[in-house]
């Protein structure tokens, strides 16, 4: 057995266990060159069967949910060379996945800025019914003028977006609860389909949105979908603290993740909620291989096209000049002595640490020091150690995993990381319940939460 594995303290069987979700973007993987990798079907961007297969791989690994980000839509930043980063259509994809999976939660991003709330309410509740209570809605306000331009608009101010978001979530939850829990009788003998007096209009009119309702869809096995949120600003803390069951986060250090987690928990408390009702789930990117060298070579093959621009960026992170012609050389003693991690990029200290280990410039970049989340490039135990350290430090309730290449990277995580986490009693052996609400241990809720919403009084608060 690996010696570092022997040293690890095993959590007891009764300890709290971590949540794991899988990020599925365009279906090739989270690294830009994924679509060009050998063994990857270059046309799988449009294959719903491929998305189903990936979700099934995650379900084999007992992941609690899959998470599909969305713009809505995706910006075509480098379409000459790279695939758009998101799914063709997140709701249609999840509908296909729902039919071919049994337990895994299905979470999609739905913009509160660029959707009518009634449309979102019925799509997510229909998915919830179709999947027997496995749907989650990642309610985000959206960012970026490229997204807004598709709606003939520019991005509204943060105040405007979040003001609308507070109303949209309350309105949607009110619509979800507008078909009473026991309203659906479907009694062929008496001929009664449903109890009209339990299916009621919501009649809300806010500053930004309104609806008469009711929605025409009965409850699912979990009642209604869960709310996720993704964002890190104070406005995001407030929105999530008020409504979210889980936060899809982004943090590069344990300290930052712990601070973010605490900010969301504090916000939840301000709304009279138990802070354990909001799960903070930061991202982790993985290139899992039998050893560090094999994993680094895989990353080089995947992303080497981008290395010239990353060398330029690494110079700024370390505050020194780097030579693109010396990719095979480690940094010199003079360079390392002169290097100062940039205070403007939280990844800089880690980049310098890797550089000081003596890796070549090419390998430093292949470690993923310039990526959207912490990156594990190595054997499965390194991912397990990272996850254990963050989880036990109170920095995370779980992780959302972005495999480098979905074709084999999801299976690599399932086969090489999940068993170690299970052996350490940090991750469940199997699903305990059937619904996403059960997977997350989220409290029952049908309609709005009276602790945080004014909607029940016929009004809405931003």
**Stretch of 138-146, 363-371, 384-392, 412-420 contacting ligand FMN, by CB under 6 A:** 138-146
| Interface mask toward ligand FMN for 153-172; x: CB under 6 A | -----x--------------
> Any contact of residue 248 with ligand FMN (CB under 6 A)?
yes
Give dist(CA 129, CA 12) in Å, integer: 36
**Stretch of 74-82, 128-136, 218-226, 243-251 contacting ligand FMN, by CB under 6 A:** 243-251
**120-156 CB burial, b ≥16 within 10 A, e <16:** bbbbbbbbbbbbebbbbbbbbbbeeeebbeeeeeebb
Q: Considering only residues 47 through 76, tell me which ones interact with ligand FMN, judged by CB under 6 A.
A: 69-71
Structure tokens at 279: 């799960």
**DSSP letter at 81?**
T
Nearest alpha carbon to residue 44 among 71, 25, 61, 31: 25
Annotated binding site: 70, 109, 162, 233
| Binds ligand FMN by CB under 6 A, chosen from 231, 368, 379, 380 | 231
> Any contact of residue 245 with ligand FMN (CB under 6 A)?
no
Residue nearest ligand FMN (C-beta atom): 69
> Any contact of residue 93 with ligand FMN (CB under 6 A)?
no
| Interface mask toward ligand FMN for 249-288; x: CB under 6 A | xx--------------------------------x-----
CB proximity list for 41: less than 8 A, separation 6 or greater: 47, 50, 407
> Any contact of residue 432 with ligand FMN (CB under 6 A)?
no
**Stretch of 26-34, 134-142, 357-365, 412-420 contacting ligand FMN, by CB under 6 A:** 134-142
Annotated binding site for FMN: 70, 109, 162, 233
> Checking DSSP bridges between strand 226-230 and strand 246-249, what pairing results, if any?
parallel
> Any contact of residue 233 with ligand FMN (CB under 6 A)?
yes
Structure tokens at 224: 């209604």
Give yes or no for a contact between 199 and 214, defined as CB atoms under 8 angstroms apart. yes
> Any contact of residue 232 with ligand FMN (CB under 6 A)?
yes
Q: Considering only residues 94 through 123, tell me which ones interact with ligand FMN, judged by CB under 6 A.
A: 109, 111
Nearest alpha carbon to residue 111 among 70, 76, 150, 158: 70
> Any contact of residue 141 with ligand FMN (CB under 6 A)?
yes
Structure tokens at 356: 């000081």
> Any contact of residue 142 with ligand FMN (CB under 6 A)?
yes
CB proximity list for 332: less than 8 A, separation 6 or greater: none
Q: Which one, 283 or 398, has the nearer CB to ligand FMN?
A: 283
> Any contact of residue 219 with ligand FMN (CB under 6 A)?
no
Q: Considering only residues 183 through 212, tell me which ones interact with ligand FMN, judged by CB under 6 A.
A: none
**Stretch of 137-145, 220-228, 358-366, 390-398 contacting ligand FMN, by CB under 6 A:** 137-145
| Helix 406-416 vs helix 380-392: crossing angle, to nearest 10 | 70
On the CB side of 290, CA atoms within 13 Å amount to 0
Nearest alpha carbon to residue 105 among 398, 387, 447: 398
Q: Which one, 248 or 268, has the nearer CB to ligand FMN?
A: 248
> Any contact of residue 360 with ligand FMN (CB under 6 A)?
no
Q: How far is CA 58 from CA 91, 214, 323, 344, 412, in A?
A: 18, 36, 41, 35, 11
Smallest distance, ligand FMN to C-beta of residue 212, A: 28
**Stretch of 76-84, 136-144, 330-338, 417-425 contacting ligand FMN, by CB under 6 A:** 136-144
- DSSP reduced 3-state for 184: strand
Smallest distance, ligand FMN to C-beta of residue 17, A: 22
Give dist(CA 352, CA 364) in Å, integer: 9
Nearest alpha carbon to residue 104 among 57, 45, 46, 44: 57
Smallest distance, ligand FMN to C-beta of residue 183, A: 34
Q: How far is CA 443 from CA 62, 263, 267, in A?
A: 21, 21, 18
Number of residues that bind ligand FMN (CB under 6 A): 20
Q: Which one, 234 or 272, has the nearer CB to ligand FMN?
A: 234
Question: Which residues contribute to the site for ligand FMN (CB under 6 A)?
Answer: 69-71, 109, 111, 140-143, 158, 230-233, 235-236, 248-250, 283
């Amino acid at each position: 057995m690996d010696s570092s594995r022997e040293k690890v303290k095993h959590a007891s069987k009764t300890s709290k266990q971590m949540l794991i979700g899988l990020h599925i973007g365009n279906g090739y993987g989270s690294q830009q060159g994924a679509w060009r990798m050998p063994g990857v079907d270059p046309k799988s961007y449009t294959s719903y069967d491929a998305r189903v297969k990936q979700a099934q791989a995650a379900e084999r690994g007992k992941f609690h949910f899959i998470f599909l980000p969305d713009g809505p839509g995706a910006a075509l930043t480098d379409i000459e060379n790279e695939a758009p980063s998101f799914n063709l259509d997140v709701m249609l994809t999840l509908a296909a996945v729902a039919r071919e999976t049994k337990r895994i939660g299905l979470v999609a991003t739905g913009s509160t800025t660029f959707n009518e709330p009634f449309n979102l309410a019925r799509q997510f509740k229909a998915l919830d019914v179709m999947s027997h209570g496995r749907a989650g809605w990642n309610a985000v306000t959206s960012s970026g003028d490229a997204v807004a331009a598709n709606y003939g608009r520019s991005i509204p101010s943060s105040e405007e977006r979040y003001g609308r978001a507070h109303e949209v979530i309350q309105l949607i939850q009110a619509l979800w609860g507008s078909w009473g829990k026991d309203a659906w009788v479907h009694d062929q003998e008496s001929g009664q389909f449903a109890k009209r007096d339990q299916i009621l209009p919501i009649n809300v009119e806010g500053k930004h949105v309104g609806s008469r309702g009711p929605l025409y869809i009965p409850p699912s096995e979990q009642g209604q979908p869960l709310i996720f949120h993704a964002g890190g600003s104070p406005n995001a803390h407030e929105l999530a603290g008020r409504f979210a069951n889980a936060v899809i986060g982004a943090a590069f250090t344990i300290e930052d993740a712990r601070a973010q987690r605490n900010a969301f928990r504090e916000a939840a408390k301000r709304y009279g909620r138990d802070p354990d009702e909001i799960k903070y789930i930061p991202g982790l990117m993985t290139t899992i291989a039998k050893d560090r060298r094999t994993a680094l070579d895989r990353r080089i093959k995947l992303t080497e096209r981008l290395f010239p621009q990353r060398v330029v960026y690494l110079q700024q992170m370390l505050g020194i000049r780097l030579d693109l012609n010396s990719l095979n050389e480690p940094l010199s003693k003079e360079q390392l002595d002169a290097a100062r991690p940039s205070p403007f990029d939280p990844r800089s200290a880690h980049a310098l640490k890797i550089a000081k280990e003596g890796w070549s410039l090419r390998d430093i970049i292949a470690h993923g020091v310039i990526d959207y989340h912490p990156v594990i490039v190595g054997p499965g135990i390194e991912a397990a150690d990272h996850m254990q350290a963050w989880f036990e430090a109170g920095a995370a309730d779980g992780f959302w995993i972005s495999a480098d290449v979905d074709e084999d990277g999801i299976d690599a995580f399932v086969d090489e990381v999940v068993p170690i986490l299970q052996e350490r009693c940090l991750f469940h052996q199997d699903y305990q319940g059937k619904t996403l609400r059960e997977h997350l241990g989220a409290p029952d809720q049908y309609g709005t939460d009276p602790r945080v919403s004014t909607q029940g009084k016929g009004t809405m608060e931003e």
